[in-house]
Amino acid sequence: MRKIIFASNNKHKLEEVKRIFKLYDVLSLRDIGFDKEIVEDGYSFQENAFIKANAVMEYIKDNPKYNYAVVSDDSGLCVKAINYEPGIMSARYSGGGDAENRKKLLDKLATIQDRTAYFQCYSVVLLPDGNSYVADGKTYGLISKNEIGDNSFGYDCIFWSDKLRKTFGQATPEEKDSVSHRAIAMQKIKDFLDSIDYMANDEEEE
């Protein structure tokens, strides 16, 4: 089976990526023993995605056991009326967790009529031979006035999808995958790996 390393331990992100990469064995940072803090200090989603991928590639470069492609992503919610906040600060918007981030955003929009927004994702794959490929995904919607549906992941329960006509918090995994920013970007990454017939150098398969 083809293997990749996804530069995250986020349960929800891993689930989404594994649904896209159905014929791949997707390893998390925990699976490869990576426990360092990655400082995401880039000025764009793309820069942060490269920072994560490069950190993991540097970690595995001298370990032939993990001679795999490294896939990473950075994504966030951009709300037009407030200068596209929270943007690259989406995960750290309030200094607290998901619930605090949502509250800060809803409070900021309390008196604002224009609630148009989009989710943006940039994904990067670094290959063991040094080559790389970048893909992006975007999906449009509105910020709801209240939380609707499952509130366990990020801003999903306050993002009303234009295409689904419901919040991501109300959507099934399959529905979300059909329109989400991360699924769009990751599908492009998978198509790229498929097109070059990528196969990890796994000794167990030799």
Region of residue 177 (phi > 0: left; psi between -120 and 50: alpha; otherwise: beta): alpha
User: Active-site residue 25, yes or no?
Assistant: no
Query: Could you say which of 73, 74, 98, 156 is catalytic?
Result: 74
* Per-residue tokens: 30: 């925990």
CA distance 49 to 28: 15
CA separation, residue 139 to residues 50, 60, 173 (Å) = 22, 33, 15
Residue 153's closest CA among 7, 51, 13, 1?
A: 13
Catalytic residues, which ones?
74
